Structure 1
Amino acid sequence: MLKKVEQNRDLWELFTKKEEYNAALLDKYGRFPYYLSRQRNVFEPEVSEFLLKNGLNPEYPEGKKFAVCLTHDIDFVYIDTLNTAARTVKALKRGQFAEASMLPFSRINKTWNPLWNFRRIMDLEEKYGAKSTFYFLTLDPGNEDFTFSIEELEGELGYILEEGWEVGLHGGHEAYNNLIEIKKKKQKLEKVLGEKVMGYRNHYLRFKTPETWELLADAGFSYDSTFGYHDCAGFRNGMCHPFKPYNLKTGKEINILELPLTIMDTTLFQSQMRLDFEHAWALTEMLILTVERCRGVLTVLWHNTYMQGEYLVFYKKLLQHCSEKGAWMAPGIQICNWWKEEYDSQG
């Protein structure tokens, strides 16, 4: 089917992201941002629409209309001292005396810690018939952004797996461009987990096209879910379906599946978009409708740090809306395995 896309030069260059190869301008994290792209139609999955017109016909389990890949990047599991003090003061001002008394001791009693919330997230998703993927950092002391040791979470990781959710690797700052680092962090997570880790997303969405895909394939991952713009929601290469990337340098497909990232919480509310809740929901609803129309996969990243206040209300609204639309809401590895079967059957 890719042969048909290859015959359309504009779509082929969009699909392969030719403009990102050896890009001269990148941001301070080595990322290719949307604002530097020639692509101006990021909210329309042009390549997926072309594929649908040319024979792609995905049918999801149990007759579901489209799929939603729910994911959470776990960068923090503790509140730092300053944030704990600030939260305690706010709780006192609101008259929430029980919360105010628990916060200072949240490192001792994990159930009082608002960021040790994996089971609460799972309970919420279960109400809507959904399951998700948790991507965990496995940094070492001294690594940039080190805040916790993965060994501390062994019990939680086991619980997540036992209940049918997925544990994936959240690669640190340098992993996207370093095979040794990727393998080291993967092995560290697998040692704690006691199982192979098949799913990946890089910290800060750091990514180098097409090299990062090649490194992840060499490291033994089944799929990646990093490929989305950090500064704009939408469809980075015109795809709202999983795809095998194509390396223009080698002229070959890369042996890994990409579940392209569509929506990230910090992209909507921070980054360059800085939307209020009303406009963020209008955009989210439009993207859901677009993916539904294309019978595609909507990949959502909602950090565990955003599972509170109005951000939590927003996430609940997203779950309810997708549930009412009959979406298949599943972890990345389930979608990956299903798509590979479907892809093979359709050639």
Structure 2
Amino acid sequence: MSAVPDDHEFALLLTHDVDRPYKTYQSLYYALQNREPKQLLEFLYGENPFWTFDALRDLEDDLGVRSAFYFMDERSLTDLPVWQWFDPESWRLFAGRYSLNDHDIVALIRSLAADDWEIGLHGSYHSYRDRHRLEREKLRLESILDRPVLGGRQHYLNLDEPATWEHQRAVGLRYDGTPGSSTTFGFDGEYGIRRPFDDEFVVFPLTVMETTLPDPDERFDRAWTALEGLLDEAAANDAVMNVLWHPRFFAGEDFPGHVRLYRQLVETALDMGAWVGPPGRLYEQLEWPEATSNARPSRRGVTGR
């Protein structure tokens, strides 16, 4: 049974994990590492090129598509005991995080949802094996949205199969977009979706994360060739292609070439007859076994094309 809506060649799922929307310690690091004065000025004057949401929304509006933004309820470095501040692992996991109590974050979530972008859960680093933590995070995000969250993706692609999916399903999530790689890209022979429990819970495997591609600033043609190959493979196999682009990569000066690459990806997919949109919207269009036909969620605030 194909997961691709009728009259479309394949499906392209657009997702954005919201990890670090504030450029903080990175400016100081790059200023010292690369001797870039502009980075130091950003740090000193609190400039924040990683807040790319307005530009990203304008881009997707111009393309006539919507995507999913996955928000995280993770601890920050200041939440840890002081002795853990000297652990490099703590900096990797918790430095530069945001809070769901942040007024700007709350306003962003509500504004995106009001304009039909999907809001999903980016489960925190340890939540993939902690059902109670995952449930708290989901409920907190839903309290901001005032609506159910359909699905999301675990941070750092952390996954314990099938235990993580059992936790997600138990707390009321309907889909997961976690299984994939942070070092390689491709379908690996898997073109459809997974139903690990033969019910309404669905898994959308991750096809490509932007960091696994050649740098589009220095090797745009190679990056595009890789994506074009995936699109051709998706079309040939009636596939669901799930892509992840972190919002910070739409900061043009920090990550040149990514906006152009993302635009070309979406435009080409649309020209090829793809269904393009967020996973939640595709989920709502899936066909279901008769036994689970009454378990489908209501359709609210998630659009695709």
Is the TM value for this pair above 0.5? yes
Structure 1 residue 145 corresponds to structure 2 residue 80: no
Q: Cα deviations across residues 127-178 of structure 1 (Å, max 9, x unaligned)?
A: 1221100011111343742511112211110110011111111111111111
Q: Distance in 2 between matches of 1:234 and 1:201?
A: 18
Q: 1:118 maps to what in 2?
A: 53
Q: What is the identity, as a one-letter code, of the residue corresponding to 2:20?
A: F
Structure 1 residue 322 corresponds to structure 2 residue 269: yes
User: Structure 1 residues 155 and 277, CA, compared in 2 at 3 Å: closer, same or farther?
Assistant: same
Q: What is the identity, as a one-letter code, of the residue corresponding to 1:241?
A: G
Which has the higher mean CA deviation after the structures are superposed, 319-328 or 137-146? 137-146
Q: 2:196 maps to what in 1?
A: 245
Contact 2:3 2:193 in 1 (8 A): no
Q: 1:180 maps to what in 2?
A: 132
Structure 1 residue 129 corresponds to structure 2 residue 64: yes
Q: 1:266 maps to what in 2?
A: 211
Q: 2:202 maps to what in 1?
A: 257
Q: 2:83 maps to what in 1?
A: none
Q: 1:53 maps to what in 2?
A: none
Tell which structure's C-alpha radius of gyration is larger: 1
Q: What is the identity, as a one-letter code, of the residue corresponding to 1:151?
A: N
CA apart distance, 1:66: 1.7
Q: Distance in 1 between matches of 2:289 and 2:36?
A: 54
Query: What secondary structure, in the 3-state scheme, does the structure 2 residue paired with 1:298 have?
Result: strand
User: Structure 1 residues 131 and 106, CA, compared in 2 at 3 Å: closer, same or farther?
Assistant: farther
CA apart distance, 1:198: 1.3
Q: Distance in 2 between matches of 1:59 and 1:281?
A: 24
Q: Which of 224, 227, 231 in structure 2 is aligned with 1:288?
A: 231
Q: What is the identity, as a one-letter code, of the residue corresponding to 1:259?
A: F
Q: 2:259 maps to what in 1?
A: 312
User: Structure 1 residues 186 and 320, CA, compared in 2 at 3 Å: closer, same or farther?
Assistant: same
Structure 1 residue 217 corresponds to structure 2 residue 169: yes
Q: What is the identity, as a one-letter code, of the residue corresponding to 1:327?
A: A
Query: What secondary structure, in the 3-state scheme, does the structure 2 residue paired with 1:150 have?
Result: coil
Counting only pairs closer than 5 Å after superposition, residues 1-347 of structure 1 correspond to structure 2 as: 56-57=1-2, 60=5, 63-83=7-27, 86=30, 104-106=44-46, 113-141=48-76, 142=79, 144-145=93-94, 147-152=97-102, 153-236=105-188, 238-246=189-197, 253=198, 255-269=200-214, 276-307=219-250, 308=252, 309-339=256-286, 342-344=287-289
What percent of counterpart residues are identical?
28
The answer for unaligned runs of 5 or more in structure 1 is 1-55, 93-98, 108-112, 247-252
CA apart distance, 1:226: 0.3
Q: 1:26 maps to what in 2?
A: none
CA apart distance, 1:64: 2.6
Q: Distance in 2 between matches of 1:136 and 1:74?
A: 5
Q: Cα deviations across residues 71-124 of structure 1 (Å, max 9, x unaligned)?
A: 00111011114516857x8585xxxxxx997775446xxxxx322222221210
Query: What secondary structure, in the 3-state scheme, does the structure 1 residue paired with 2:116 have?
Result: coil
Q: What is the identity, as a one-letter code, of the residue corresponding to 1:118?
A: F
Q: Distance in 2 between matches of 1:174 and 1:333?
A: 24
If the length of structure 2 is used for normalisation, what is the TM-score? Answer: 0.78
Contact 1:225 1:261 in 2 (8 A): yes
If the length of structure 1 is used for normalisation, what is the TM-score? Answer: 0.69
Q: What is the identity, as a one-letter code, of the residue corresponding to 1:74?
A: V
CA apart distance, 1:58: 5.3
Q: Distance in 1 between matches of 2:207 and 2:26?
A: 33
CA apart distance, 1:254: 5.8
Q: Distance in 1 between matches of 2:121 and 2:4?
A: 28
Backbone CA RMSD of aligned residues? 2.8
CA apart distance, 1:267: 2.2
